[in-house]
A and B are shown apart, each in its own frame.
Chain A
Amino acid sequence: MNSVIKPRFSSFVDRFRGLQASSPWMRRFSMLAQVWTLIALFVFFSLASDSFSRPINLRNILTQVSTLAIFASGMTFVLLLGQIDLSIAAVAALSAMISAHLYSKLGYAEPIPSLAGIGAATFLGFVSGVASARFRIPTFMSTLAMSLIAGGLTTYISKGRVITKVSQLSMTLGSKRIGGPDGLPVIVIVAIVTLAVGYVILRYTRFGRYTYMTGANRSAARLAGVNTDRILVVVMTISGFCAGLAGIISMGRLHSAQPDATDSFLIDTIGAVVLGGTSLMGGRGGMPQTVIGLLIYGTLRNGLDNIPSIDIYLKEFITGTVLLVALLINTVFAGTAERDRTI
Chain B
Amino acid sequence: MSTVPIIELKDVSKNFRSIQALDHVDFDLREGEVHALVGENGAGKSTMMRILAGIYTDYEGAYYLDGKQMRFNSPHEALAHGIGMIHQELSVIPELSLAENLFLGRQPTTRFGTIDWRRMYRDAEEELRRLGFELDARLPLEQYPLGTQQVVEVLRTIVSGARVLIMDEPTSALSPSEVGQLLALVDTLRQQQRSIIYISHFLEEVLHVADRITVLRNGRSVATLTRDEATLDRLIALMLGREVDRQAQPITTESEHEETILEVKDLTSDKFRDINFRVGKGEILGIYGAIGAGHFDVARALFGLYKLDRGTIILDGEPFPSNHSARYAIRRGLAYAIESRRKSLLLDQPIYQNITMPHLERIGRFVPQQSQELAAAAPTIAQVNVIPPDPHNPVGKLSGGNQQKVAIARWLTFPPRVFIMSEPTRGMDVGAKTEVLGLLRRFGEQGFGVIVVSSEPETILAVANRVIVMARGEIVGRMENKNLDKDALMRLI
Contacts and interface: CB of A to CB of B under 8 A. Distances in A.
A220 B368 CA distance: 19
A223 interface: yes
A225 B327 contact: yes
A225 B358 contact: yes
Given A216-B348, A217-B343, A227 B327 contact: yes
A136 to B, nearest CB: 14
A220 B396 CA distance: 14
Contact of B367 (A205, A220, A225, A226): A205
A220 B366 CA distance: 21
Nearest to A204: B367
21 contacts: A205-B367, A206-B361, A206-B366, A209-B353, A217-B345, A217-B346, A219-B343, A220-B343, A220-B345, A220-B346, A220-B357, A222-B305, A223-B305, A223-B338, A224-B326, A224-B330, A224-B358, A225-B329, A225-B330, A227-B325, A227-B327
Interface in A162-210: 204-206, 209-210
Given A216-B346, A220-B344, A223-B343, A209 B360 contact: yes
Contacts of B329: 225
Nearest to A1: B58
A221 to B, nearest CB: 8
A213 B368 CA distance: 14
Which of A220, A222, A227 is packed against the most chain B CB atoms within 10 Å?
A220
Interface of A: 204-206, 209-210, 213, 216-217, 219-227, 283
B336 interface: yes
A204 B365 CA distance: 11
A210 B357 CA distance: 9
B91 interface: no
Contacts, number: 55
B349 interface: yes
Interface in B338-391: 338, 343-349, 353, 357-358, 360-361, 366-368
Contacts of A204: 367-368
B343 A213 contact: no
A213 B330 CA distance: 17
A227 to B, nearest CB: 6
Interface residues of B, number: 25
A204 B369 CA distance: 7
A223 B348 contact: no
B467 to A, nearest CB: 25
A217 B410 CA distance: 16
A222 B326 contact: yes
A338 to B, nearest CB: 12
B369 to A, nearest CB: 8
B358 A216 contact: no
A209 B368 contact: yes
Contacts of B347: 217
Interface string B323-336: 00111011000001
Interface of B: 303, 305, 325-327, 329-330, 336, 338, 343-349, 353, 357-358, 360-361, 366-368, 410
A116 to B, nearest CB: 30
Contacts of A213: 346, 357
Contacts of B344: 219-220, 223
A264 to B, nearest CB: 34
Given A224-B357, A224-B410, A225-B330, 18 more contacts: A206-B360, A206-B366, A209-B353, A209-B368, A210-B360, A213-B346, A213-B357, A217-B343, A220-B343, A220-B344, A220-B345, A220-B357, A222-B305, A223-B303, A223-B336, A224-B330, A225-B327, A225-B329
A50 B349 CA distance: 46
Contacts of A210: 360
Contacts of A283: 348
A154 to B, nearest CB: 38
A10 B305 CA distance: 47
Contacts of B326: 222-225
Contacts of A226: 327
B217 to A, nearest CB: 29
B408 to A, nearest CB: 13
A220 B406 CA distance: 13
A223 B329 CA distance: 10
Contacts of B345: 217, 220
Which of B303, B358, B360 is packed against the most chain A CB atoms within 10 Å?
B360
A283 B329 CA distance: 26
B254 to A, nearest CB: 31
A208 to B, nearest CB: 9
Contact of B366 (A205, A217, A221, A225): A205
A206 B373 CA distance: 12
Contacts of A221: 357
A224 B414 CA distance: 13
A142 to B, nearest CB: 23
Contacts of B346: 213, 216-217, 220
A96 B152 CA distance: 58
Contacts of A206: 360-361, 366-368
A224 B338 CA distance: 11
A172 to B, nearest CB: 32
A216 B394 CA distance: 14
B297 to A, nearest CB: 15
Contacts of A225: 325-327, 329-330, 358
A229 to B, nearest CB: 10
Contacts of B357: 213, 220-221, 224
A216 B353 CA distance: 13
B397 to A, nearest CB: 14
Which of A205, A209, A222, A224 is packed against the most chain B CB atoms within 10 Å?
A224
B299 to A, nearest CB: 11
A205 B348 CA distance: 20
Contacts of A216: 346, 348-349
